[in-house]
Amino acid sequence: PKKETITSLQQAKGKRKIVMITAYDALFASLFSESADIILVGDSLNMSFNGKADTLSVTLDQMIYHTQAVCNGAPNTFVVCDMPFGSTNTKEEALTNAVKVFQQTGADAVKIEGGCNRAELIKHLTDNAIAVMGHIGLLPQSVRSEGGYKVKGRDENSFEQIIEDAKAIEEAGAFAIVVEGVTPNLGAMVTQSVNIPVIGIGAGKLTDGQVLVWSDMLGFFEEFKPKFVKRYLEGAKLVKEAVKNYKQEVESGVFPAEEHTYK
Ligand code: KIV
Ligand code: NA
């Protein structure tokens, strides 16, 4: 498939759904590139790849390393790199760090969590030729300050706030927005409130596209399945069975067979 651009993604709104998936390495990025419009190098890699309990401790250099790997594996796919917690505290710092991502990786855009309170900072980046994807609704980087992961839009205040967030980010020049963990009603309202594509995760079906974390949707992460995740593969089960089979064949001498042995 042809590589997306911010123009082709914006033209998709209302015409076709945008398909986004995370990846953290070249191998999976390459596999996903056949079907995904966008690959996100999410800071969720701090959990899925690094085994931490939340996203907060991943560093910019770690994000850059994984983004380089993903770009190596999927050179013809639109790649977005998450700006990690603490890398965008001021607009100057945010620009310096986003420029670093653009100079050291092949990423096509960066993603920044936050709404109205981040609009000025996002404008500073878009004014300086950084393509920015917004991220509103449930913000995993705020898990500690919010005291947990909480679905948004169930009360009128948060409902209105998140629509204002979407408008402010569009106004700041973001080319697209991820909306996470909101009621389907709010997902639909956010999507209608802006002219840029809105990509949902746990936001119902009426957004312009969907994003899932690869290890959730392919069933490699077993401990916990959020309600919004659909498992398209029982990855953990298949891998465990395969490695158990390997163990049995090594222990019994079935592997390696004649065909795996040099003459
Ligand atoms: O880090 C991530 O994987 C994300 C998606 C959940 C949108 O930000
Ligand atoms: Na993220």
**pLDDT score of 222 more than 90:** no
Indicate the burial class of 161 (C-beta count within 10 angstroms; 0-12, 13-18, 19 or more). middle
**pLDDT score of 1 more than 90:** no
- Cα dist from 239 to 52, 150, 235, 245, whole Å: 21, 32, 6, 10
User: pLDDT tens, 55-91?
Assistant: 999 999 999 999 999 999 999 999 999 999 999 999 9
Closest listed ligand to the CA of 180:
1
**Which residue's alpha carbon is nearest to atom 3 within ligand 1?**
42
pLDDT of residue 201: 98
User: Which atom of ligand 1 lies at the shortest distance from residue 199's CA?
Assistant: 7
Confidence at 224, pLDDT banded by 50, 70, 90: confident
Look up the CATH superfamily of 6-232.
Answer: Phosphoenolpyruvate-binding domains (3.20.20.60)
The complex's ipTM?
A: 0.99
Is 22's C-beta closer than 6 angstroms to any atom of ligand 1? yes
**Mean pLDDT calculated for residue range 115-143:** 98
pLDDT of residue 82: 98
**Mean pLDDT calculated for residue range 219-228:** 89
CB atoms within 10 A of CB 235: 18
User: pLDDT tens, 87-99?
Assistant: 999 999 999 999 9
Is 100 annotated as contributing to ligand binding? no
Is 43's C-beta closer than 6 angstroms to any atom of ligand 1? yes
What residues does CATH 3.20.20.60 cover in the chain? Answer: 6-232
